[in-house]
Every structure is written in structure tokens, then in C-alpha cells.
Amino acid sequence: MGNYDKEINRRRTFAIISHPDAGKTTLTEKFLLYGGAINLAGSVKGKATARHAVSDWMEIEKERGISVTSSVLQFEYDGYCINILDTPGHQDFSEDTYRTLMAADSAVMVIDGSKGVEAQTRKLFKVCAMRGIPIFTFINKMDRDANDTFDLLDEVEKELGIATCPINWPIGSGKEFKGVYDRDERCVITYSDTEKGTKEGEATRISIDDESAILEHIGEAAKEKLMGEIELLDGASAEFDLDAVRAGKLTPVFFGSALTNFGVEIFLQHFLEMATTPLPRKADIGIIQPSENEFSAFVFKIQANMNKAHRDRIAFMRICSGKFDASMEVRHVQGEKVMRLSQPQQIMADDRKILSEAYAGDIIGVFDPGIFSIGDTLCMPKEKFAYEGIPTFAPEHFARVRQLDTMKRKQFVKGITQIAQEGAIQIFQEFNTGMEEIIVGVVGVLQFDVLKYRLENEYNVEIRLENLPFEHIRWIENQDIDLKNLTGTSDMKKIKDLKDRPLLLFVNEWSIGMTLDRNKGLVLSEFGKN
């Protein structure tokens, strides 16, 4: 076994999740400032002249000001090597987020202090809870008027079913925001609006026992309120318990303002101490340990055309164990091939750095000549095992795709197949017709816009989408089913996926039960397997 422990133990790999507009991309940028990865925070939205956030690189993202793909960002800070997986906040891209969470060891949940827990936060939280991954909460935008702090914590506990433990406590909000109280160090960290976009702003720390300094900085009313809240907190809130945090049962809560860069470094420092080193992973031969096993990884994301000039495809993989060396040969388990990984690189949005080595916990991108699929395992040539697959979400919206120029058939099939391999959309064929009739399924309707946009801009193909009434899809589990003789309902459609597996589409949910009744022994599933 290699001597990988030191390198692996300094790695922290986490995803940032939130509802759109809670400030996730701004928080990511501020982390990068502290790591020296960027020198100036850019503006996420706004005019074309404004610098765009490093983590939003696709053209459509810049136009709409939303993240539609997950970015991978690596930086060094205080002896740690940090891998951030930034995820789309918009619910129409939740499938991409789900896959990204499979590659993370913990999650940072960003909540807007004036809005509390929003719909998308609930959905993403469920995925984290399903995997039992630790969640750290950053309540953002305290420089604006926020909801009552106790109400916010109560909402997190009730809505998400997880206990909260505030590590610090806000003093006011909006125009009255004076800073935060650090419960552990029993001091007030004062807020000043001088820290916009830079890491130079100074925060003053005042011991809670230094009464005159406290009064001078926050005033009598805020001090009285704070003392009352501290007393309440000490009596009512959950005790900090690192084991409970790491088991995903307790979330440490921090308050701040990502935009004005207040509370971000405090959060980052605590997070790095509390978060785990890269975790073991489950494979079909048992548990694979990060530092005891040699190199292994799994593919969790494929992205085509990150560089329009090169028309390339990048497969993102999470290294689960050992050390990766660019000169080594590895086994692609599903492809049954031993190979060298081409152009291994670390990616900071659309900037790339070719790398010669990486360790468990790191995310690397490799050139994909069209052989990788999401969920594929890579390991050493003499080994052969597979990591648990990543389930495919059932699409909820369907449309028939028509290309406007039939002379561009080749580009059309190539484009739609490549975009489907990334996992953003799923494509199906009518039963018996092959690629002549293509049906596309998506989790969120915005994906249709992205498909149209990308086919036009990246493959020079125009399409028309014809919405279909189907709302439910089921994979057929039986190996020996004869699709021709399957008796269904009038609102059912028989289709196949790209791997030739039979599926059924239904308009109404009750039709699923009727179809099961009419075909004894038929087994239907809501999830496809990669």
C-alpha cells in the first residue's frame, strides 16, 4: 500500500446546496478569495461587462444568471486541500445535483435569512439525509432584514427533521446588523460594511465580559437583547456533538453575509475542523478504504463542449482510494478495458490545469472519447470491482423532438446522444421505430430550453419540441418480457431507452396499477440503473 495518508487526510470534499438566489455562488467565490484562487470577487449576474462568477461558465448560465451545471473548484487553504462541488440551485436541474452529492463527503446548505427553508432546499436535503452525509448550515444575507433567529432554527428543525446547534449568533439584521456572538469563545465579532468583495476587512473581537466596549460597539438595546438570547440558547439549543454532526443528525449553524464577506472565513475555519476526511465507499466486493486501497474512482458527471474550440467531452470522476498518477494504467470496469486516462486535469470552472497526480477525495476531469457513462468504476488493472450505481431519476416531462433540417440528421443524432450521455436529459425511441422517432424526457422543463439552446449553439441543429401528455415512466424489471404482447391501457406508450431496455409511459397514475393487474408477474420500477 502507498503512503497516501498525509495527502488524503488534508482533503475535504463538499457540495454546496441551496434554493436559487440564496447566495451559494457568492459564498463559493468568497471561499476562493481566502484560498487565493481568485483575487477579486466577480458579479454573478448583471451586465455583460460585469465579471461572471468563476463557477458559472456555460453561456446560457451567464445569460440567465443561474447555475445549470455543477462546477468543480479546488483550492488550498491553511494546509487543507479543498474540493468544492458547486451545484445548480434551480430545481429543474436537481438530477445533476443528486449525482454531485454522490461524489461529496459533506454538504454546506445555504439559507437566505429572510426566506428561511425553501422548496428546493427540502428536496436536496432529502438526498443528503438518504446518504446520511453531514450538513453544515450557513444562514446568509444577515446584512438584510432577516426572520427571527429562533424561528429560522425552528424551521430548519421542523422542515428538515435535523437538530440545530448555532456555533455563532447574529446581533440584529439589516441596517441593525452589528455582528455575531461566538458562543465558544464568548466574544462578539463586530460587523462593518468595509469588507465588500475583499478579504482585507478587519473584524474586531470583543469579549462579552468587556461591558464598556460591547456597549460602545453595539449599543444598550442590542446588548440587552443579546444577553437574553444567549441565556435562552444555552438552556434550549442542542449541545454540540461532533459524532452527531458526522452522522448527519445535527447541523452546526453559522450566520453571516457572503456579499459583504462577513462570517465567511469563520465558517470556513470551523467547517474544515468539523468535516470528515474522505470517506470509505461501498463496492460490490465490500468497503473500499481511501488510504488502504490503491487507486479507484467512479464517474459522476460527463460534460460535453466545455471548450467550444475543442468540441471535447470531459468525464468527471471522484477518486475514492489511493493515489492517481497520470502515467499509470487503469481498468475501466464497465468497458472491460485497461487504458491510460487521457489529459487528466483539475478544473476551475472553464480553466484547466493538467495534473500528474491526485489523491482520494480529489475530483479530476479526463478526456472522454465517448466510452464512459455516469456511474462507471475505474480501478487498478489487476483488480475488478464496481462501486454502487447512481440511480437515474424518472423524468416528469416528455416531448417529441423534430429536427427542422433533415439534411443535418448526423449532427442531430450525435448532439442529442451526447447531451443524453451527460445525464441532463433522457432519450427514448418509439417501440419498433429506432432513432426515427425520438422522445426526450426531463426532470424539469427548463432542461428543454437548455437542450434547444445547446443543439443550436454547439451542434448547429434547430429542433422543434412537441409536448406529450405523459407524466409517469416505468422501467420493466423482467428480463424475459415480450413487449409486443404486453396488455396496457389506452393512455400507455411502449418505448425503449438507449440501452434497448423496454419502458412504459403513462398519462395517469392509475393506469400503472391496471397494467400490473393485466400482466401477471410484471415488475415495474421508478428508477433506471446506469
**Cβ neighbours around 43 below 10 Å, total:** 15
pLDDT digits 0-9 by tens, 365-419: 898 887 888 889 999 999 999 998 776 667 888 999 988 888 888 889 888 887 8
pLDDT value at 53 more than 70: no
pLDDT at 163 over 80: yes
pLDDT digits (tens, 9 = 90+) for 201-225: 566 889 988 888 988 888 899 999 9
Residue 143 has pLDDT above 50, yes or no: yes
The predicted structure's pLDDT at residue 308? 55
Pairing of strands 135-140, 250-255: parallel
CB 103 within 8 A of CB 300: yes
pLDDT tier for residue 64 given thresholds of 50, 70 and 90: very low
Q: Does residue 136 have a pLDDT over 60?
A: yes
Least confident of 53-62, 257-266, 296-305: 53-62
Contact 43, 18 (CB under 8 A): no
CA neighbor of 163 nearest in space, from 241, 270, 274, 254: 241
Q: Which segments of 405-519 are extended strands (E)?
A: 426-430, 438-442, 463-468, 472-476, 492-497, 502-506
Under the banding of pLDDT at 50, 70 and 90, the label for residue 435 is low
Consecutive H or E run containing 83: strand 80-86
End-to-end CA distance of the chain: 31
pLDDT per position as a tens digit, 74-86:
888 999 999 988 7
Task: Look at 63-77, 143-157, 264-278 and tell me which has the smallest mean pLDDT.
Answer: 63-77
Pairing assessment for the beta strands 397-403 and 463-468 based on DSSP bridges: antiparallel
Residue with cell 469588507: 195
Write down the pTM of the prediction: 0.77
pLDDT of residue 386: 93
Q: Residue 348's pLDDT is what?
A: 60
For the residues 29-51, what does the mean pLDDT come to?
A: 55
Give strand pairing partners of 177. none
Residue 421 vs residue 457, higher pLDDT: 457
Least confident of 313-322, 325-334, 338-347: 338-347
